[in-house]
Amino acid sequence: MRIFALKGSEQFGDAIARSMWTEVERHEERDFEDGEHKARPLLGVRGEDVYVVHSLAGDGSASANDKLVKLLFFIAACKENGAARVTAVVPYLAYSRKDRQTKSRDPVTTRYVAQLFEAVGTDCVMTLDVHNIVAFQNAFRCTTVHLDTRRLFSPSIRALADGLPVTVFSPDGGGVKRAQLLKETYEAETGEAAGFGFMEKRRSGGVVSGDLFAGDVTGSAVFIVDDMISTGGTMLRAAKACRANGAMKVYALAAHGLFGEGSQAMLDDPAIDGVVVTDTLTSAARAASGRPEGRVEVLPAGPLVGEAIRRLSANGSITDLLGSPG
């Protein structure tokens, strides 16, 4: 087995490797003056089971487009040089939001990205809490492995609730299933009952609307769950609605903390008691830095991904790892 982590994902790659009692392998990445790029493994991969780690969120060092192309080219180089199997370990998978046509002549970018992975010979794509799991699984023809953070979040929910009744809440209709699954996992892990709620959200031309609020949050600790936090507007809107409906505490939970432009307002707003994300992106640590302790909690996801890699390599059970209720 060979594990590589491309530039920008070194910390997460190292965390995966440490959890497996191994090290990330050496590779070369080179940018030419005109913006072209070259990457190659610095040891033999012929006949090997290769795992390439790279999260595809754009940041100050590289855009999502650049990261995607570099990952694709590195996978192709491994296949070119005889790798028996190459798995793309993409904790945050870019372009997952545009998974269907909502307006005339819209692209279906999720499917196009899947075709790019398949075109370079990718054998398997592993990701964590993708935006829409059904669209993800249907877009790819190669093997896919979808991991989720439910078991990572359950202990934090119990600790942060501090004895208050727990309500798991979706900030929009599209995340209802995600919130329901987290509720079920929390109840199975702790033996405690949890409430459930969601609110309506419609977006058109950049304008968000929708007033429906479902669920009783009065006197409870509410945990609003989504796959990602980008600007934070969706989370803050839901948090204020929960406060208005009697919530005692409100926390925002997401696998991926992108924390893009405008997210500072959400991170510092008193309507939210705290934010819990994983370390799939380096932006999570930056958001936590300089803020009061506990304001942004960053959970390690490397051991989860490392165990999934170990099981995939040994033909073990991913279902048992996730412990999916029902």
HEC sequence for 234-278: HHHHHHHHHHHCCCCEEEEEEEEECCCCCHHHHHHCCCCCEEEEE
Active site residues: 201
Our count of domains for the chain comes to 2
Q: Which is more confident, 43 or 172?
A: 43
- Torsions phi, psi for 124 (to 5 deg): -155, 145
Give me the mean pLDDT over the 144-169 stretch.
94
Percentage of the chain beyond pLDDT 70 is 95
Pairing of strands 194-199, 207-209: unpaired
The whole-number pLDDT of residue 206 equals: 55
183 and 273, same domain (yes or no): yes
Give the integer Cα–Cα distance in Å for 280 and 13.
Answer: 10
Query: In the structure, what pLDDT confidence band is assigned to residue 289 with cuts at 50, 70 and 90?
Result: confident
Single out the residue of 123, 167, 168 nearest to residue 141, CA to CA. Answer: 123
pLDDT value, residue 194: 95
Q: Which residue has the higher pLDDT, 267 or 320?
A: 267
Rounded to whole angstroms, how far apart are CA atoms 127 and 139? 14
According to DSSP, residue 31 is labeled E
Residues 167 and 217: beta-carbon distance below 8 Å? yes
Spatial contact of 53 and 17, defined as CB atoms under 8 Å apart:
no
Instruction: Encode pLDDT of 75-90 as tens digits.
Output: 999 999 999 999 999 9
Which residue, among 190, 103, 104, 175, has the nearest Cα to 134 in the 3D structure? Answer: 175
More confident position, 96 or 169: 169
What pLDDT is recorded for position 61? 81
pLDDT at residue 170 above 60? yes
CATH number of the CATH domain containing 32 = 3.40.50.2020
* Residues 12-39 pLDDT 10s: 999 999 999 999 999 999 989 988 999 9
pLDDT, tens only, 174-231: 889 999 999 999 999 999 999 999 997 666 555 565 678 888 999 999 999 999 999 8
Q: Are residues 287 and 176 in the same domain?
A: yes
Report how far apart the first and last C-alpha atoms of the chain are (Å, whole number).
33
Q: For residue 326, what pLDDT is reported?
A: 43
- Whether 98 and 78 map to the same domain: the answer is yes
- Tell whether 105 and 184 lie within a shared domain: no
* 155 shares a domain with 76: no
**Phi-psi region at 8: left, alpha or beta (left = phi > 0; alpha = psi -120 to 50):** left
- Please indicate, yes or no, whether residues 53 and 34 belong to a single structural domain of this protein: yes
**What are the start-end ranges of the E strands in 123-220?**
124-128, 143-147, 166-170, 194-199, 202-204, 207-209, 213-214
**Tens digit of each residue's pLDDT (9 = 90 or more) over 100-130:** 777 788 888 899 999 999 999 999 999 999 9
The pTM of this model reads 0.91
Indicate if the pLDDT at residue 142 is higher than 80: yes
The residue to which tokens 């896919």 are assigned: 144
Are 282 and 251 in the same domain? yes
Residues 217 and 123 in one domain: no
Mean pLDDT value across the chain: 91
**All residues at 6 or more sequence positions from 152 whose CB lies less than 8 Å from its CB, including other chains:** 278, 299, 301, 304
For residue 205, what pLDDT is reported? Answer: 55
324 confidence band (pLDDT: 50, 70, 90): low
* pLDDT for residue 309 is more than 70: yes
> Could you list the residue range(s) of the whole structural domain that residue 63 is in?
2-148+303-322
Specify the range with the lowest mean pLDDT, choosing from 10-19, 38-47, 95-104.
Answer: 95-104
Give the per-residue pLDDT at 212. 84
- CA dist 267 → 78, 127, 194, 245, 288 (Å): 41, 26, 25, 21, 9
For the cut 70, the answer to whether the pLDDT of residue 325 exceeds it is: no
Please tell me whether residues 64 and 166 are part of one structural domain: no
- Where does residue 267 rank: exposed (0-12), middle (13-18), buried (19+ CB within 10 A)? buried
Strand partners, 29: 39
CB 156 within 8 A of CB 149: no
- Answer yes or no: is pLDDT of 278 > 60: yes
Question: What is the predicted pLDDT for the residue at 106?
Answer: 82
Q: Do 208 and 94 share a domain, yes or no?
A: no
d(CA 223, CA 239): 9
Same domain, 38 and 125: yes
User: Are 180 and 236 in a shared domain?
Assistant: yes
Distance between CA 256 and CA 128 in Å, rounded?
Answer: 9
Q: Between 150-161 and 176-190, two packed helices, what is the crossing angle to 10 degrees?
A: 70
Strand pairing of 221-229 and 166-170? Answer: parallel
